[in-house]
């Protein structure tokens, strides 16, 4: 089964910039109900889509319980749900879309975080990044987005 996920958030002053569970020092942060981690949110949506379980908002609605929660904790719950439904992750391919900051120096730690949570090998997770060459809300430094595509396989009960 294949699932696709997409997430976008506003960048704002006085917010933390969390991506793949890593805190990145930057003048703006990602505004969101949880920690605003667009990469992890897109992965969650792609995995939930592959098993036909809705999206991140239906599984983790805005509430006091979920306010400022680490998206890695939400990802862990989604990983457990996949396991309960007898699915294994074959691979996840992601693209982060942002003008800046550059994430190349954080990519390996982000992969380690996500792979550890999902109990997959780093060769099963691709993390890419691109800009919009100054176009749109992302190019103007007003936002960040991420796409994720997941391939999973049923292994039976």
Tokens read off for 113: 């975080």
Percent of the chain at pLDDT exceeding 90: 91
pLDDT in tens, 17-57: 999 999 999 999 999 888 999 999 999 999 999 999 999 99
pLDDT in tens, 65-118: 878 889 999 999 999 999 999 999 999 999 999 999 999 999 999 999 999 999
Kindly report whether the global pTM for this prediction surpasses the value 0.85: yes
Answer yes or no: is pLDDT of 157 > 80. no
């Amino acid at each position: 089964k294949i699932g696709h996920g997409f997430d976008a958030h506003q960048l704002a002053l006085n917010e933390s910039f969390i991506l793949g569970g890593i805190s990145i020092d930057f003048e703006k942060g990602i505004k969101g109900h949880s920690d605003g981690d667009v990469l992890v949110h897109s992965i969650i949506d792609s995995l939930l889509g592959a098993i036909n379980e809705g999206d991140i908002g239906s599984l983790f609605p805005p509430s006091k319980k979920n306010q400022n929660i680490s998206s890695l904790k939400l990802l862990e719950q989604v990983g457990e749900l996949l396991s309960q439904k007898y699915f294994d992750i074959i691979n996840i391919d992601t693209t982060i879309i942002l003008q800046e900051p550059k994430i190349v120096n954080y990519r390996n730690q982000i992969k380690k975080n996500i792979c550890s949570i999902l109990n997959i090998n780093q060769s099963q997770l691709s993390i890419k990044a691109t800009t919009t060459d100054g176009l749109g809300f992302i190019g103007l430094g007003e936002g960040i987005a991420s796409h994720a595509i997941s391939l999973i396989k049923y292994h039976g009960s």
